[in-house]
Amino acid sequence: MTVSEATLPGRPAGPLHRFRRRPAAVASLGLLLVIGILCLAAPLVARLLGTDAETIDLLGRLQPPSLAHPLGTDELGRDVLLRLLYGGRISLLVGLGGALIASAIGLVIGILSGWIGGLFDRVTMRITDAVIALPLLPLLIVLAAVDPLKLGLPAAFAGGAAASVLRIMVIVALFGWTTVARLARAATLSVKNREFVLAAHALGAPPGRILRVHVLPNVAAPVVVATTLSVGNVILAESVLSFLGLGIQPPLASWGTMLTNAQELMFGAPALALWPGLLIFLTVLTFNLMGDGLQEALDPRQSRHP
């Protein structure tokens, strides 16, 4: 879709134009870029401040904001701003990674059940319904509490803080694929019997090519929207699990784990509990508003905003 097409009188505006018309979505994208870039630039900020996120200063504990520590220090005298930025890297990584894994699973399941149909479709959709119906958090807690060593997984995956990042992404993805699966299936079904697909069949195109060239582009729009919306949910799930002590393991920290420590000091230092939660809240909110704007932009007919 070209720009000139969008400006033609009487023609519907292009996706970019429709997205730009939603101030909440545009503001969200901006805020998200700011948060993302700051988190990526954490080492730079550290050099600017002349300290790093791990430096413990027991004499300078729980200090109020100052020039050296713009957001003060925590219960071990570490710089709160730097810890927030490094924690944000983990939270965003898990959010994006988990949502992408979940979408990939959902995409494969959805397209296959829409394409193959029959018994395979019935069984996978029943499973999808069942997973949607389950109470999510208790099961996530059980899964997160599982000892990977008892599963016979190699110690590299089982132990260590870095492994906990990968593990949490996989766990969250195990329950997060259902929406994408449903959308992908519906989109596949809607194009499966259209003329251009039938024509491709008749011309002898192999199924792999038909799926890639004709089906995937039509499935993309709803899946992109659902993935954006699920990033927020994954970040929320990760933060809850980390808050309960079952997610990201120290010495790594995410916004969720920072809140665990802050809870114990809530009465003396409430500001410590304010910042990580506020960042989770803002990040999740921006992803949700952006998903909403994308839905409007990519699929105005199905959008719930007339």
Partner 1 sequence: MGRLLLRRGAETLLVLLLVSFLIYALIGLMPGDPIDLMLSADPRFTTADAARLKALYGLDRPLLERYFRWLQRALTGDFGYSRLYGQPVFAVIWPRLLNTLLLMGTSFLLALAIAIPAGILAAMRPRSLLDTVINLLAFAGFSVPSFWLSLMLIVLFAVVLGWLPAGGVASVGDGGLLDRLAYLVLPVAALTLLTAGTFLRFVRAAMIEALQEDHIRTARAKGCGAVRIVLAHALPNAMIPVVTVVALHFGALLSGALVVETVFSYLGMGKLIYDAILGNDYNLALAALLLGTALTLIANLLADIVYLELDPRIHDGL
| Long-range contacts from 143-150, C-beta under 8 angstroms, 24+ separation | 143/171, 143/174, 144/168, 144/171, 144/241, 144/246, 144/247, 145/246
Residue 45 or 229 with smaller CB distance to partner 1 = 229
Distance of alpha carbon 116 from its chain centroid, rounded?
Answer: 29
Which range of residues in 45-53, 183-191, 279-287, 293-301 is near partner 1 by CB under 8 A? Answer: 279-287
Shortest separation between residue 47's beta carbon and partner 1, angstroms = 30
Alpha-carbon distance of 187 to 199, in angstroms, equals 18
26 binds partner 1 (CB under 8 A): no
Closer by beta carbon to partner 1, 45 or else 248: 248
191 binds partner 1 (CB under 8 A): no
Name the residue nearer to partner 1 (CB basis): 277 or 300: 277
Confirm if 161 and 248 have CB atoms less than 8 A apart.
yes
Would you count residue 151 as binding partner 1 (CB under 8 A)?
yes
Least separation in angstroms between residue 133's CB and partner 1 is 5
> If binding is defined by CB under 8 A, does position 234 make contact with partner 1?
no
Q: Is 294 in the site for partner 1 (CB under 8 A)?
A: no
Closest CA to 95 of 273, 219, 222, 242: 242
**What sign for the dihedral angle of Cα 239, 243, 245, 246?**
negative
Instruction: Identify the three-state secondary structure at position 79.
Output: strand
128 to 147, contacts with partner 1 by CB under 8 A? 130, 132-139, 141-143, 145-147
CA-closest candidate to residue 212, choices 239, 191, 238 = 191
Q: For binding to partner 1 (CB under 8 A), which residues are involved?
A: 24, 126, 130, 132-139, 141-143, 145-147, 150-151, 232, 236, 239-240, 243-244, 256, 259, 262-263, 266-267, 270, 273-274, 276-278, 280-281, 284-285, 288-289, 292, 304-306
